[in-house]
Amino acid sequence: MSRPARGPMPAAADLAAAVDTWLGRLADERRRSDHTIAAYRRDLDGFLRFLAEHRGAAPDLASLGDLTVRDIRAWLARRAAEGLARTSTARALSAVRVFFRHLERDGVPVSPALSLVRAPKTPRAVPRPLTEGQARAVVDLGGLNAGPPDWTARRDAAVLLLLYGCGLRIGEALGLDRADAPAADAALHSLMITGKGNKQRVVPVLPVVAEAIADYLAACPHRLEPGDPLFVGVRGKRLQPRPVQRTMARLRGALGLPSSATPHALRHSFATHLLAGGGDLRTIQELLGHASLSTTQRYTEVDEAGLLAAYRAAHPRAG
């Protein structure tokens, strides 16, 4: 994991201000979660701290135009020498690249060195979905394990159903506004989702999901106007991921689920169960909002693993 930020960001005033502007845009315009923004800041802090030590002076905006491939490779080598995981380094490199693209869009000249350096190879992660029975148990229990007040249980049930029934990322679900809620009495339900890269997609909504959202709204004590958040906390502010994660942790304990049973695992489960039910990869790619089909193809590996496990359990000569 990346080292946490230590004290003020090691950068000149103009660069520190640019970082703050970038992080503010991520929060306000792209609705990135607090966790994601904190991770971006830590990764960028580590990079700028390295530059300050490597070059002997706090970097400013102008110095970012002078970076060389050698500078970037020295940073990557430092991280490797410190024993940081390749996955962590790949994420940090991605964060710096995203920041540089932000600067370019604002007309700040930056070095092309980052685009000339390959990210370290990382092991291909295979999604870890729940079984169909486990996913059904989670959404059936929903918010039953939530604490007081009672309306938050209906809220959590609606969020979990959205994650599994529509394959949303938790940030996408919590980023919805009241005006986005599907009408409970409509014949056809759908949501316009803004995902990664500000890319929009239309996602169909099962009637049971629309009903759960309507049930939550009927119980919610806060008067929510069209421009207000759809899912709110007890003080009426936009709900953050942590309460949903706590609810999922309680469900893990109650149902005896593995530690991989997180809110994001419900999205994995949505894709895996659609594939197992005969869904085609292109459709699943569109529903998930994946930019590349290769990302969606990871779910075929999960399906193949499930088939192999079933074969070994059932075939008389598999033992």
- Say whether 196 is catalytic: yes
Residue listed under structure tokens 């992660």: 125
User: Of residues 32, 91, 267, 273, which has the active-site annotation?
Assistant: 267
Asked whether the beta carbons of 58 and 111 are under 8 A apart, the reply is no
Residue among 309, 286, 292, 267 nearest 127 (CA): 267
User: Of residues 42, 102, 189, 290, which has the active-site annotation?
Assistant: 290
User: Of residues 169, 252, 268, 273, which has the active-site annotation?
Assistant: 169
C-alpha span between 54 and 76 (Å, rounded): 12
Burial of 232 (C-beta count, 10 Å sphere; 0-12/13-18/19+): buried
Asked whether the beta carbons of 226 and 177 are under 8 A apart, the reply is yes
- Say whether 237 is catalytic: no
- Say whether 216 is catalytic: no
Residue listed under structure tokens 């109650």: 254
User: Of residues 264, 298, 311, 315, which has the active-site annotation?
Assistant: 264
- Say whether 311 is catalytic: no
Residue listed under structure tokens 């949501």: 191
Helix (H, G, I), strand (E, B) or coil at 318: coil
Asked whether the beta carbons of 23 and 33 are under 8 A apart, the reply is no
Q: Six-digit token pair at 126?
A: 């295979």
- Say whether 290 is catalytic: yes
Could you give the C-alpha distances from 91 to 97, 160, 223, in angstroms and in order?
A: 10, 27, 40
Asked whether the beta carbons of 300 and 270 are under 8 A apart, the reply is no
Phi, psi of 191 (to 5 degrees): -130, 140
Interhelix angle 241-255/151-166, rounded to 10 degrees, is 90
Residue listed under structure tokens 């999205």: 267
User: Of residues 196, 242, 282, 312, which has the active-site annotation?
Assistant: 196
- Say whether 121 is catalytic: no
Q: Which residues are catalytic?
A: 169, 196, 264, 267, 290, 299
